[in-house]
Structure formats: structure tokens, C-alpha cells
Amino acid sequence: MRKLGSIRGESRWVEGIHFLRRTGWACVLVVVAIGSALGCSGMPSLEEQERHVRANELLLHQLTPHAFVGGWGLPTYQHTEFMQFFGMKDDELIPRSRLASGEPPRGWEVRIEAGDALFLAYPDRGWLVVFFEERLVYREKLTAAQLHELGRSWQHEDKFRSRFEAPAAS
């Protein structure tokens, strides 16, 4: 009886090996995707990100919105909008809304990204920071008056935004 159980166990193990051979690269891709989802993305820890924010070291693609809230507190203004970004050689993504109408930025490398953008305005610190796919892609030093004006324009736009125009809640 014990030998029969052992044969069944070996049979299952051999079936498992054949399954892995049949699926081939699919298993490798699944493992890589799971590893990426669990934080192997190369992003610094949240504590390290917050330290950078408090030190005004606004590193592109290395900071998340949570780091700004943790480091500086809640922003005075925030805004989300579907946005086109101009890709620059230094990997900065400039939001279309920060440019004069019809004008591409100097040094643009003919790369465009598009998607939901999160804008945070901190007038007390003098910074506008913009996130795309949960990463800082643009930062601009502005006066408090400029940031308040921008924030008020977002509030005005939001009053007239239909539910179809509003970005999907995540």
C-alpha cells in the first residue's frame, strides 16, 4: 500500500514538471509580475522618500504622492485630469497644461505620454508637483500667488466638470 502511494506522489510530481514545460515562459512572466507587484520596482522606501521631500530633493520618478503628504502634509490644492505629457531627455514629463497653447517645450525629444495626472500645489513651500502613474514626473517652483491662482482655476473647472470628465476613482 505504501508503494502505491509513493507511485501516485511521483506521478503527480512528473505531471507538475510536464505542466511547467508546457507553460514555458508564461510561468517566468507570472513570477516576474508578482515580484514587481511586491515592491521590486526600485522605488525607495516611503521613509526615504519623505526624507527627500523634507530636504526639498524632488527626485523625478523616485517619489510618490504619499511621500509629499507624509513630508509636507496635505496640499493646499490638488487636481486630477487626463493629461498629455511631453517627454524630455532627462526623463521629465512636462504636462501640456504648463505650456503655452500649441508650443512644445525646448529640448523635447518627440515622446508623448498620456493618462491621469495628479497635481499637488503647495503655496507655502512654492512648489507645484505632478504625478503620472504614482511617480513624480514634473516639479515647478512658483510663487505663492501663482499657485493660489492655479488652485482657484482648478476649483472653478471642477464645478463644471461632468461625471464623464472626472478621472476614475482608484
**Cα-flanking dihedrals φ and ψ of residue 101, to 5°?**
-55, 125
Could you tell me the three cell numbers for 118? 495628479
Query: pLDDT higher for 140 or 103?
Result: 140
Task: Please state the rounded mean pLDDT for residues 162-168.
Answer: 58
Measure the CA–CA gap between 108 and 96, rounded to whole angstroms: 12
Is the model's pLDDT at 129 over the cut of 70?
A: yes
Contact 53, 71 (CB under 8 A): yes
Cβ neighbours of residue 138 under 8 Å, at least 6 residues apart?
60, 85, 92, 93, 94, 95, 98, 128, 129, 130
Per-residue model confidence as pLDDT tens digits over 66-107:
999 999 999 999 999 998 887 787 777 877 777 666 666 666
The pLDDT tens digits for 15-65 are 554 544 555 544 433 433 444 444 445 789 999 999 999 999 999 999 999
Task: State mean pLDDT over 133-145.
Answer: 93
Helix ranges, 24-108 (H): 25-37, 46-54, 65-72
With 0-12 / 13-18 / 19 or more C-beta atoms within 10 angstroms meaning exposed / middle / buried, residue 165 is exposed
CA 144/CA 94 separation, integer angstroms: 21
Can you read off the three cell numbers belonging to residue 139? 516639479
Are residues 140 and 119 in contact, defined by beta-carbon separation less than 8 angstroms?
A: no
- The pTM (predicted TM-score) of the whole model is 0.66
